[in-house]
Structure formats: C-alpha cells, structure tokens
Amino acid sequence: MIFEQHYLECLSQASYLVGDEGSGRAVVVDPRRDIAPYLESAAEQGLTIELVIETHFHADFLSGHLELAAATGAAIAYGSVAETEFESRKLADGERISLGDVTLEVRHTPGHTPESISVVVYEHADDEVPYGVLTGDTLFIGDVGRPDLLSSRGVTADDLASSLYDSIHQQLLTLPDATRVYPAHGAGSSCGKSLSTDTWSTLGEQRTSNYALAPMSKDEFIAAVTEGQTSPPAYFAFDAVLNRELRPLLDEVTPPEPLSLDEVLTWQRRGAVVLDTRSPEEFAAGHLISAINIGISGRFAEQAGGVVQPGAPIVLVSDPGGDLEAKNRLARIGFDRVVGALADPLSAMLANPGDVVQSSRMDAPALERARAEMPDLQIVDVRQPGETEGGTINGARLVPLTQLNAMLSSLDASRPTVVYCAGGFRSSIAASRLSAAGFTDVSDLLGGYGAWTSLAAV
C-alpha cells in the first residue's frame, strides 16, 4: 500500500493519496485545489488516480475534485445523500472499493454535515484490523467536527450534534483501537474548537484523550460540542455552496497580470480590493491608500476570507516573486478574481508619494496614555471568543477578525480607534480594513494583548 498524507499548514488541511503498488490504482481523498503535488507523487510512483473521494462539502476551502477529474479522468464520489451539479458517484454505507489488495470501506458518518462519510483503509482486503480511517471532519485529533455551520440552512446544530454522536459511537468507535485516525484538519482550523497539533492518532488514544469521546449521554455530548465554538470566517458559506457546483478550473502556473500604478488605481476606483501581502512592518512603512494588509506568512487565505467579500476583484501588492503564490492561496478558498498585481511595488510607491500613506501603530504605554487622554477612544479586540476568555482590555469591543466585515457597521468610523489581537499580526489586517472603510484615525497595538498584559504586570 502507498499511503500519503498531504498537510497544508496555512489552512490546517489534510488530504490523502492512497494507492495499491501492485495494481497501480489510486484514490485521492479531500484534495486541495492546487493539485500538482498529487499528480507529481502519482507519476513518481507509477499510480493512476481513478477516483476522487470527498468526505463532505467542505466549507473552509475550495476542493480540487474538478481539477483532478479534468487532469486524470478520475470519477468524483460523495456519500449517497450528496447532490452535486457535476457528475458524481454515490457511495453507499458499507460499500467497498477495491484498488487491488488495498481496499476502502465507506461509512456514513453524518453530524458535521448531513452527507459526511468516513473512509476505512485496509492494507489487505481480508485484514481484521484496518490500517486507518479517514474521518474527514467527523472526528479530529482531540475533538470532533463542529455541528453548527449549517444552522442558517434549516438544520439545527443540536440535530446535527445528535447525528454526530450516533456516527461516532456506531460507526467509528466500533473499529479496533489500533486503527489509525487520519482527519481532514488539525490545530488552527475553524472546523472544530480543540484540535490537536498532531495530524494523526489511533482510536485507542482518542478514547482516552479526546473530551468528546469520554463516556457521556447524548444530551451531554450535544451540550459539550455545541458550546464555545469559534466564529467561522464569513467565506465558509460561500465555499460550502461552491463545492457543490460546476465552476472554472484553477490555472496554478500563470501569475497575475502585472499592472502599472495607474491601472491599479483605476481598478481600485471600480471597486477592486488592493491586497498588500507584505509584512505588517513593511506595510506600516508605506502602502497604497485604502490597501488592506494580509501578510502572506500567516493564515493568508483564511484571513482574506474574513475581510474581503467573495467575488470581489482583487489587485495584489507583493514582495518580488510572491504574486503567483498569493493568487493560488486565494484560489484555495475560491477567491479567483485576481485581476492583476502591481509591478515593482517599491519603485511605484517611491515614484508616487501622493498615493502612499503610512500606518499608525502604537505600543502599550502609548495606548495607556491615549485611554487617559481620549474619553471617546474606541478599542477593538479582534481575537476569537476562546482567546478573550483569559481577559481583555477594559472597555474593548469584541469583534472577531473572521466576522469583521459583518460587524463593521457596529463600529463608529468617526472615533479614534485602536485595534489589537494576541500579538499584532491580525490587528494590522483589521486596522487596514477599517482604514479602507473610511475610519479616519486607526492604530493597531504593537505586541497585542500580550504587550498590554506585560505592561500591566510591571
């Protein structure tokens, strides 16, 4: 058996290539949209990708099933209750898929979504103990899938949590303890609340360490898994729908069109978002007016999905050679309207200082003085609810970055505003978004809440 986990750190997303060395037949499960790694690996090992299996309709990324099908001729498969615009194979509960000696068994595991499935992997068809189980977003390492993402679509979180309990206990925990657990996500994903940094485990280990698998009634389980979930990025609903639909394929090799500064400003006047992917420090030193800063080194696509509207045209401003990476990472969440990238940004900004501004950043002592001197100071905390349980700056408004666009109207654009996060990266994103929305006096806190608490401890 050939078994590969492909882990994408920036989205905490895992996909899998499973093949039979004897037959050369292979499947890919939950592929990312830029599919070159699967094609390269399959070619190196003499495998033919015949099937793409999706464990569910993903909300946090745009899957690469259409790209893989176009590149390899593979069929696309979902659990039997899934409905797609494109041709797809319906996988029944208990159905077995033979790749040769390597065999896959489908188990319906609704709960995160109604169509969720898990895929049990047998190295040999007659093995009593499976090699592992690909659990999608049903079972994570240290957690289970959140059941609340479809609460606005006529399916309650409690109903899905009830199904999730049954799936865990009737479909997954019936497997032997030695079965390896390979989920679709790890720590940092918004698809759960307590995901481990480990990318695989065993069912035996999860029985003893995963809070959601501890002995409890169904009602207790429902309460445990619905409480304390993070605010998901606003693009989740967009991707969940797009993953069902026919859509254009990604071209992952052609960089965005280089644009002059005049062309960038023309696009901006037409409503395009100027997305500056440099570091917060570089951005603060000088950037185009109304540009939004999302550093490429962070959770770039996910953070873009929280502050850029799906479907908006985007112009990139990147360090040299960074335009194609930024375009492809945006494409991973379906943000395909990258209309171009500013050519030679540093030279363009140096030659046109009238189109460039600097960001206001303040340290913790400066914020302390501002609070004393400005009674109308508006302080905005863009951390997630789980982060703010440990404390906030007194009087701060809690506006998670993932929900900033939706909550923008609740903030006063005329008041002086200071934005903070845990360490200073997300606050630069939020402050730039507020400035682009017309807030006239915005600063972000250097060092974030950590710097503030250190000051208070002195």
Q: Are strands 2-8 and 13-19 parallel, antiparallel or unpaired?
A: antiparallel
Answer whether residue 249 is part of any domain. no
Closest CA to 140 of 13, 264, 239, 50: 13
Give the end of a domain, one of 336, 357, 378.
357
Q: Are residue 267 and residue 175 in the same domain, yes or no?
A: no
For 432, the domain range is 360-457
- Tokens at residue 31, please? 């592929």
Q: Are residue 174 and residue 214 in the same domain, yes or no?
A: yes
Q: Are residue 234 and residue 130 in the same domain, yes or no?
A: yes
Q: Are residue 331 and residue 441 in the same domain, yes or no?
A: no
Cα radius of gyration rounded to whole Å, the chain: 24
Give the Cα separation of 206 and 217 in Å (integer): 18
Q: What is the CATH number of the domain that holds 222?
A: 3.60.15.10
Answer whether residue 234 is part of any domain. yes
Confidence of residue 165 (pLDDT cuts 50, 70, 90): very high
Closest CA to 305 of 281, 273, 278, 282: 273
Answer whether residue 253 is part of any domain. no
pLDDT at 386: 82
Give the end of a domain, one of 314, 331, 357.
357
Answer whether residue 71 is part of any domain. yes
Q: Are residue 67 and residue 144 in the same domain, yes or no?
A: yes
Closest CA to 170 of 108, 124, 221: 108
pLDDT at 453: 94
Answer whether residue 385 is part of any domain. yes
Answer whether residue 235 is part of any domain. yes
Q: Are residue 435 and residue 312 in the same domain, yes or no?
A: no
Answer whether residue 250 is part of any domain. no
Q: Are residue 66 and residue 125 in the same domain, yes or no?
A: yes
Q: Are residue 316 and residue 372 in the same domain, yes or no?
A: no
Summarize pLDDT for 66-106 with one digit per residue, the tens.
999 999 999 999 999 999 999 999 999 999 999 999 999 99
- Tokens at residue 7, please? 């882990």
Mean pLDDT, range 33-37, rounded to an integer: 98
Q: Are residue 222 and residue 291 in the same domain, yes or no?
A: no
Summarize pLDDT for 209-223 with one digit per residue, the tens.
999 999 999 999 999
Q: Are residue 40 and residue 159 in the same domain, yes or no?
A: yes
Give the Cα separation of 257 and 313 in Å (integer): 13
Q: What is the CATH number of the domain that holds 285?
A: 3.40.250.10
Q: Are residue 169 and residue 297 in the same domain, yes or no?
A: no
Give the end of a domain, one of 357, 375, 407.
357
Summarize pLDDT for 297-348 with one digit per residue, the tens.
889 999 999 899 999 999 999 999 999 999 999 999 999 999 999 999 999 9
Q: Are residue 207 and residue 276 in the same domain, yes or no?
A: no
Total number of domains in the chain = 3
Closest CA to 404 of 435, 377, 359: 435
Answer whether residue 248 is part of any domain. no
Evaluated on CA atoms 409, 410, 413, 419, the torsion sign reads negative
Residue 252, pLDDT > 70, answer: yes
Distances (CA, A) of 124 to 16, 121, 135, 175, 308: 18, 9, 20, 16, 47
